Amino acid sequence: MLASGIYSVFRRQSTRIRPRVLCQTVGYTTSSALPTVNIVEVGPRDGLQNEKGAAIPVELKVELINRLVKAGNTTVEAGSFVSPKWIPQMAGTADVLKRMEHIPGVQYPVLVPNKKGLEDLIGLLDTNSSNPPLTDEIAIFTAATDEFTRANLNCTIKESLERLRGVTKMALDRGLRIRGYVSVVIACPYAGRTDYKKVREVTQELIQMGCYEVSLGDTVGQGRPHEVGEMLEEVKKAVSVEKLAGHFHDTYGTGVSNVLTALQHGVRTIDSSVGGLGGCPYSPGATGNVATEDVLYALQESGYHVRGSVANAIDLEKMVDIGWWISEQLGRENASRVGRAIKARRQRDEVKLKAKL
């Protein structure tokens, strides 16, 4: 289905089930009758890992995470236990976990690429006992093409899965929750169009290893709504949709449309990044993740309720503020269309107010 078709469906949905808006700032209903959408805020990890230039200070990462949680996010990726040699911006994740606030009920997953990374995390947890713990969840990752895993992990898909089996067993024995990622589920920068059957097979293996959920990533952002739908239908032949999440980049401007398509197909967890931060270091030309602000705005007054901790929602206005703040701190443009529009509206309102005085 094309994007225009998706929006027409949502228009009909909102006509049939138009929820009452609690307030203009947040704009979500708490009605339990509506399907709940969970947002995984990936800005502090996937969003920052590809930033160029000087190393991002630990204090800035800590502040970003704390602000995101105060805005209502209940799952925030806190970093990655990967070698700084390969991903320099993820250096200091252990210090981030130690210094940031830990709010009960909020998940702070960290990416663990291999057994060494998990051992480093477990060592940190052993020497920093706390309640709630610094984190109780890891994320692991692989891809749906051998070409991408060779570029990213220097191995084949089969070899990457074999390595991950040892990681997942160790994590489960430790009582950690495990979330999986599959990259390039629509297209690969090295292999072209992805075989959706391979996406299904890899996803199924991750679930069998013990992942409670697998996030399907359109890493290069080339995916179109009809392709996302076709991919999901193939994966659902072997994996329950309740165990699937969507992770969309906005390279071609289809990020939000792809989110809506995933929701139509039963997916209820969406990864997004404040200010549209992000980009894969192993995917040439890929721009940032779909912006959290854009996803929140698209779902306002819709047939879905976005879960959060501020008035049972995520505060869009606060997220816009965070998007502009972190973009300025990094010296980059704010990639959120909604963030730019709301800032322009605020500036226009200020001019009108001054004119009345």
Give catalytic residue positions. 280
- CA nearest to 53, candidates 258, 302, 332: 332
The residue whose two tokens read 């359109």 is: 218
Please spell the DSSP secondary structure of 152-211, one letter per residue: HHSS-HHHHHHHHHHHHHHHHHTT-EEEEEEE-SSEETTTEE--HHHHHHHHHHHHHHT-
Q: Check if the beta carbon of residue 35 is closer than 8 Å to that of residue 14.
A: no
Q: Name every residue whose Cβ is closer than 8 Å to that of residue 76 and which is 6 or more positions away in sequence.
A: 41, 43, 44, 65, 68, 69, 106, 107, 108
Count of H-run helices and E-run strands, the chain:
12, 11
Helix (H) or strand (E) holding 38: strand 36-41
d(CA 202, CA 144): 7
20: exposed, middle or buried (Cβ count in 10 Å: 0-12, 13-18, 19+): exposed
Angle of CA points 210, 212, 215, to nearest 5°: 110
d(CA 192, CA 145): 9
d(CA 257, CA 5): 10
Cα–Cα distances (Å) from 12 to 15, 260, 297, in that order, read 5, 14, 17
Please spell the DSSP secondary structure of 310-339, one letter per residue: BTTB--HHHHHHHHHHHHHHHT-----HHH
**Side-chain half-sphere CA neighbours of 163 within 13 A:** 19
